[in-house]
Amino acid sequence: MSSRIPLPYNPKIIELFRNPKNMGPMKDATITAIAGSPACGDMISLYLKIEKRNNEDVVVNATFESYGCAANIAAASILTEMIKGKSVKEAWMISWRDIADELGGLPVIKYHCSILAVGALRRAIRDYYKKMKVHPDWLPRDLTVEEKQTFEEEKMMEHLRKMRESMVKYK
Amino acid sequence: MSIKDLLREHGKPPKEVYFDLENSGYVPDEVVEAIIPYFNKIGYGHPAITHKLGWEAFEVIDETKKLLARTINASGPEEIVITHSGTEANNLAILGHAIAHREKGGKILVSAIEHLSVIFPAEKAEKLYGFKVQRIPVDEEGFIDPEMFSAYMDKDVSLISIQLVNHEIGTIQNIRELVKIAKEINPEVIFHTDAADAFGRMRIDVKDLGVDMLTISSHKIHGPRGVGALFIKQGTKIEPILYGQLSSEKFWPGVENIPLIAGFRKAIELAFRDFDNNVAKVKRLRDKLMNGIIESVPEVLVNGPIGDKRVVDNANISFLYVEGEAITVEFSLNGIYVSSGSACTSRILEPSHVLLAIGRRHEEAHGSILFKVCRYHSDEDIDYALENIPIAIKRLRKLSPLTPPHLKGD
Ligand SMILES: Cc1ncc(COP(=O)(O)O)c(C=O)c1O
């Protein structure tokens, strides 16, 4: 196997891995987003139900599916718990750090799991407002760090995959 | 973050079966009992000092080498070097050769699926001593095509390192044929084979294979970790890679680790006691495990060859739609211990180079699980694994957005 690294997971991760919350697709989702790719070995599908409450967009329900490691599953699970009942604006503000903290800490090489979870969430929120054809003033025009990183990972893996496939053909 | 808390949360499963023998071995009581007296009862002296405790220590080294020489049909103990690990044996073979031949230089050929303890030293020999490393591709089962191999061979090849058995996918390479081809084209070439995953699982005869150097690792045969050996055919030119005060071992400066060598010796004895029956038992249990998984879990891929050209203890299976690290954790919670070739368990974001070299796609490599069966496993162990594996995979597939709907139902 390739060079390995110890992964002393926080018990919270094991707990959520064992009993993930809000798991599975949502039939009446307002918006869904996918981040990551099978080639990365890391992919999150996020399903949000958004409704207007007192003139504010609120995440009334959130579920997920995850293809990835234990930390990935735990990060996606805890994210759905963190955003349920929050306004979309508050949900947007959640950073990858917040998720890592909520999990009681993540090993450094697993930071990308919480980055991917935030990447999926912000992609869903952007898509939602694109669909609604509005742009709330708090929504940044430029991609945030988490969104950029998510893009980068997807792009890098796509590149590696293409390179490999062309090599296999060549052989 | 405390690992104690992690272990508490994990808890002790009702039954435990350890299949991760690739990464670290199970050491039976008999071996442990052979180690302990050498800390403070006998042979705790330095093997090169002239007193009883020194001679007792030297006896361990001498006997271990004689025993090893017999089991691989070397000419004698002088052809065996004890090392700190299989990793060090591979480093010694490659860098020791490179240092000894640095004036002349030339090419080093390795297969694309070698262990990293071969690939990295070869790359180092390129950087430090100007050798040129070429990686020979393998087919989708891990075999090197002899015709293609001969195309890589010429008078400029200085060293070849190709493993007898692949550590991940169990491919038994036809080393004998490759040595013959290599030496016909270039009689001077030195041929090293890493036999860490072959030793104790099949008969090895260095004279029949025709190799000049051969690596063995103690923990691969239920000996302690941190000991290995390198067979070096008489007359093979090699320089040390570690420097310091020498004693009985000209390539192991410092005081030899006699207790661990004593454990290694016992492990060799046990591996070769009733050899044929042990090998047959391992093969039967491995077949039961591998066939059982194929029958009870849909959409899996076997990595590596099937049949006689697969080493008896290896089962490597990709479970599609799920990621390997999550599988290792899920299995662990159920008392089944394995490892994965997934990127998620590695330092770099790339899955196993072995699986990529046999043409597995990334997502197929990410879901790969390596099981190694040994003679200490029982039918009940395999039954327990076969009961739990389908349930574990089903749960993870339920979580995964990649799983097709027909595999998600109950
Ligand atoms: C093929 C191969 N070579 C070398 C080694 C290294 O042996 P050790 O763990 O004793 O350093 C291993 C063990 O993991 C192996 O599988």
The per-residue pLDDT for B250 is 80
Q: Which atom belonging to ligand 1 lies closest to the Cα atom of B114? A: 1
User: Do B228 and B368 reside in the same domain of the chain?
Assistant: no
Q: Assess if residue A31 is contained within a domain.
A: yes
User: Do B283 and B226 reside in the same domain of the chain?
Assistant: no
Number of H helices, E strands in chain A: 6, 3
> What percentage of chain B has pLDDT greater than the value 70?
98
Closest residue to B333, CB basis, from A10, A18, A161 = A18
d(C-alpha B118, C-alpha B325), whole Å:
25
Per-position pLDDT tens, chain A of length 171? 457 788 889 999 999 999 999 999 999 999 999 999 888 889 999 999 999 999 999 999 999 999 999 999 999 999 999 999 999 999 999 999 999 999 999 988 899 999 999 999 999 999 999 999 999 999 999 999 999 999 998 888 788 777 776 765 444
Segment B348-401, tens digit of pLDDT: 667 899 999 999 999 999 999 999 999 999 999 999 999 999 999 999 999 999
Q: Assess if residue A4 is contained within a domain.
A: no
When pLDDT is cut at 50, 70 and 90, the band that residue B246 belongs to is: confident
Q: CA triplet B185, B189, B193: central angle to 5 degrees? A: 110
In Å, how far is A11's CA from the nearest CA of chain B?
5
Q: Which atom belonging to ligand 1 lies closest to the Cα atom of B23? A: 14
d(C-alpha A163, C-alpha A141), whole Å:
33
Closest residue to A67, CB basis, from B352, B353, B402 = B402
Q: Helices B52-72 and B258-272 meet at what angle, rounded to 10?
A: 30
Contacts for A125 with CB less than 8 Å, ≥ 6 apart: A31, A48, A88, A91, A92, A139
Q: Assess if residue A68 is contained within a domain.
A: yes
In this predicted structure, the answer to whether residue B1 has a pLDDT above a threshold of 90 is no
The per-residue pLDDT for B347 is 63
Closest residue to A2, CB basis, from B322, B348, B400 = B348
Largest CA distance in chain B: 74
The per-residue pLDDT for A1 is 43
User: Do B156 and B239 reside in the same domain of the chain?
Assistant: yes
User: Do B128 and B241 reside in the same domain of the chain?
Assistant: yes
The per-residue pLDDT for B2 is 82
> Residue A63 sits in which domain range?
11-169
Choose among A146, A151, A145, A70: nearest CA to A107: A70
Mean pLDDT computed over B231-256: 91
The per-residue pLDDT for B315 is 98
User: If DSSP states are collapsed to H, E and C, what string results for B331-396?
Assistant: HHHCCEECEECCHHHECCCCCCHHHHHCCCCHHHHHCEEEEECCCCCCHHHHHHHHHHHHHHHHHH
The number of residues in chain B equals 410
CATH of the domain at A108: 3.90.1010.10
Number of domains forming the structure of chain A: 1
Mutational test site, ligand 1, from B118, B173, B197, B353, max ligand atoms within 8 Å of CB: B197
Segment A43-91, tens digit of pLDDT: 999 999 999 999 999 999 999 999 999 999 999 999 999 999 999 999 9
Chain A residue numbers with beta carbons less than 8 Å from the beta carbon of B347 are: 2-5, 109
Boundary-marking domain end, from B236, B271, B306:
B271
Segment B258-287, tens digit of pLDDT: 999 999 999 999 999 999 999 999 999 999
Number of domains forming the structure of chain B: 2
Q: Which atom belonging to ligand 1 lies closest to the Cα atom of B227? A: 10
Please list, residue by residue across B365-382, b when 16 or more beta carbons sit within 10 angstroms of its beta carbon and e when fewer do: bbbbbbbbbbbebeeebb
Q: CA triplet B95, B99, B103: central angle to 5 degrees? A: 140
User: Do B229 and B166 reside in the same domain of the chain?
Assistant: yes
Contact B323 A11 (CB under 8 A): no
Asked if residue A139 lies in contact with residue A88, where contact means CB atoms within 8 angstroms, the answer is no
d(C-alpha B342, C-alpha B360), whole Å:
12
Mean pLDDT computed over B164-190: 98
> Residue B156 sits in which domain range?
29-271
Mean pLDDT computed over B49-73: 97
Asked if residue B265 lies in contact with residue B273, where contact means CB atoms within 8 angstroms, the answer is no
In Å, how far is A137's CA from the nearest CA of chain B?
33
Boundary-marking domain end, from B271, B294, B317:
B271
Contact A164 B398 (CB under 8 A): no
d(C-alpha A3, C-alpha B324), whole Å:
15
The per-residue pLDDT for A171 is 43
Contact B1 A105 (CB under 8 A): yes
Q: How many CB atoms lie within 10 A of CB B323?
A: 32
When pLDDT is cut at 50, 70 and 90, the band that residue B346 belongs to is: low
In this predicted structure, the answer to whether residue B132 has a pLDDT above a threshold of 70 is yes
The per-residue pLDDT for A109 is 87
Q: Whose CA is nearest to atom 7 of ligand 1?
A: B86
DSSP B49-104: SSSHHHHHHHHHHHHHHHHHHHHHT-S-GGGEEEES-HHHHHHHHHHHHHHHTTTT
d(C-alpha B201, C-alpha B194), whole Å:
14
Give the three-class secondary structure for A43.
strand
Catalytic residue among B344, B391, B399, B402: B344
CB of B86 within 6 A of ligand 1: the answer is: yes
Mean pLDDT computed over B61-75: 98
User: Do B15 and B50 reside in the same domain of the chain?
Assistant: no
0.85 surpassed by complex ipTM: yes
Mean pLDDT computed over B64-91: 97
Segment B103-130, tens digit of pLDDT: 999 999 999 999 999 999 999 999 999 9
In Å, how far is A38's CA from the nearest CA of chain B?
6
User: Do B96 and B47 reside in the same domain of the chain?
Assistant: yes
Boundary-marking domain end, from B271, B299, B324:
B271
Q: Which atom belonging to ligand 1 lies closest to the Cα atom of B219? A: 10
Choose among B117, B115, B188, B109: nearest CA to B148: B109
**How far is CA A143 from each of CA A33, A113, A126, B326, rounded to the nearest angstrom?**
16, 18, 10, 30
User: Do B293 and B196 reside in the same domain of the chain?
Assistant: no
In Å, how far is B248's CA from the nearest CA of chain A?
33
The per-residue pLDDT for B410 is 64
Number of H helices, E strands in chain B: 15, 13
Q: Is B374 annotated as catalytic? A: no
Mean pLDDT computed over B5-16: 95
Q: Assess if residue A5 is contained within a domain.
A: no
Please list, residue by residue across B10-37, b when 16 or more beta carbons sit within 10 angstroms of its beta carbon and e when fewer do: eeebeeebbbbbbeebebbeebeebbee
CATH of the domain at B252: 3.40.640.10
Contact A2 B22 (CB under 8 A): no
* Average pLDDT along chain B: 96
Chain B residue numbers with beta carbons less than 8 Å from the beta carbon of A102 are: none
User: Do B323 and B237 reside in the same domain of the chain?
Assistant: no
CB of B314 within 6 A of ligand 1: the answer is: no
Contacts for B147 with CB less than 8 Å, ≥ 6 apart: none
Contact A43 B401 (CB under 8 A): yes
d(C-alpha B324, C-alpha B303), whole Å:
14
Look at A40 and B291; give whichever has higher pLDDT: B291
In this predicted structure, the answer to whether residue B152 has a pLDDT above a threshold of 90 is yes
- Residue whose token pair is 């070097």: B81
User: Do B92 and B36 reside in the same domain of the chain?
Assistant: yes
Q: Assess if residue A54 is contained within a domain.
A: yes
User: Do B61 and B136 reside in the same domain of the chain?
Assistant: yes
- Residue whose token pair is 């661990």: B260
Contact B6 A160 (CB under 8 A): no
User: Do B287 and B188 reside in the same domain of the chain?
Assistant: no
* φ, ψ of residue A48 in degrees (nearest 5): -120, 140
pTM above 0.90, yes or no: yes
Chain B residue numbers with beta carbons less than 8 Å from the beta carbon of A103 are: none
